[in-house]
Amino acid sequence: MNILRPDLFVDSIKDIPLEKLQQQGIKGFVIDLDNTITAWNSYEVAEEVMDWVKKAKSMGIALCIASNNHEKRVMKVAKILDLPFLSNAGKPRRKAFKKVLSILDISVDELAVIGDQIFTDVLGGNRMELYTILVVPISSHEFFGTRIMRRMERIVIPYLQKHEVK
């Protein structure tokens, strides 16, 4: 079950303790798109997400969006936030996370994963031994395949304790 356990569970991206993680050596984040920084299939980025991205950038933290969604969708949001991106990522495969490490030019122990799904974001990050952060999904409106995975998550989540930053 530890392969599915995030290192940190937060309500939203704005609740991620950037200073504390930076002190622990985190220099970059790979961020999921749908229901992590935007609602599913939306191009609208909330002001609090834009503020969080600006703050992280001002602290010298590298950011990259990695999504299993198609290039046009991911590129449009990445352009709004002025971030590099990886579309059609194939999470939870390691290849996606290795590509982000290359894009950001940082090492495994310096990268954290932020996402709303246990079976893509957390599982993929944990397989690479990255620091993983699970956020509550922004919206309940989701892709059909994600809705199926959410049923499995509801079985697993009671066994995963909310816990503090290591």
Taking the C-alpha atoms of residue 23 and residue 19, their distance in angstroms, rounded to an integer, is 6
With a cut of 90, say whether residue 143 has pLDDT above it: no
What CATH number belongs to 2-159? 3.40.50.1000
Domain edges within the chain: 2-159
Ramachandran angles phi, psi of 55, nearest 5°: -65, -45
Model pTM? 0.85
The angle subtended at Cα 125 by Cα 121 and Cα 130, nearest 5°, is 140
With a cut of 90, say whether residue 164 has pLDDT above it: no
Instruction: Say how many residues make up the chain.
Output: 166
Residues 6+ apart with CB under 8 A from 17: 165
**40-71 confidence digits (pLDDT tens):** 778 889 999 999 999 999 999 999 999 999 99
Q: What is the mean pLDDT of the chain?
A: 88
**20-40 confidence digits (pLDDT tens):** 999 999 999 999 999 999 987
